[in-house]
Amino acid sequence: MRLIGIDSPEVRDPRTPMECFGREASARATELMESSEVWLEYDDTQGRRDRYNRLLAYVWLDASTLVNEVLVSEGFAYEYTHNAPYKYRDSFQEVEQSAKKAGRGLWQDPACSARR
């Protein structure tokens, strides 16, 4: 599955080395979703599957906790717009700016030498 609207550091792509902050981002995503009942929301602007046949979705823990957004707001992922704007893009961009200003996660000094 791929979470809509985010790009987190790679940890499992056999073609590339693990990216900076990848372990931390993967651990946080696992922590949020492991042992939790979640529900998925699809977005017609993004389709149901990507070119690798991964399911595209927003992952909700409860009515007010969107995993995709939490990962961006805590600095474990970047906001990512692929081809077309998506439903929560403005919010994700806003929380990314807050994470940058606060130096959270990927944005902490010196978490990663190359930042987007």
For residue 18, the 8-state DSSP code is: P
What φ, ψ does residue 60 adopt, rounded to 5°? -105, 135
For position 36, what pLDDT does the model report?
Answer: 81
54 is catalytic: yes
Closest to 1 (Cα-Cα) out of 53, 48, 54, 43: 54
- Give pLDDT tens digits for 23-59: 999 999 999 999 889 999 999 999 999 999 999 999 9
| Residues 97, 103, 105, 107, Cα dihedral to 10° | 70
pLDDT at 14 > cutoff 80: no
Domain 2-107, CATH among 3.30.365.10, 3.40.50.2300, 2.40.50.90, 3.40.640.10: 2.40.50.90
Catalytic residue among 48, 49, 54, 115: 54
pLDDT at 12 > cutoff 90: no
H/E run at residue 10: none
Mean per-residue pLDDT, 2-26: 86
10 is catalytic: yes
Catalytic residue among 10, 19, 89, 94: 10
Give the predicted TM-score (pTM) of the model: 0.89
- Give pLDDT tens digits for 69-102: 999 999 999 999 998 999 999 999 999 999 999 9
Distances (CA, A) of 64 to 4, 18, 27, 59, 90: 17, 32, 22, 11, 17
Count Cβ neighbours within 10 Å for each residue of 21-33 and write b for 16 or more, e otherwise.
bbebbbebbeebe
Query: H helices within 38-77, ranges in order?
Result: 67-73
Catalytic residue among 2, 19, 89, 94: 2
Domains of the chain, residue spans: 2-107
115 is catalytic: no
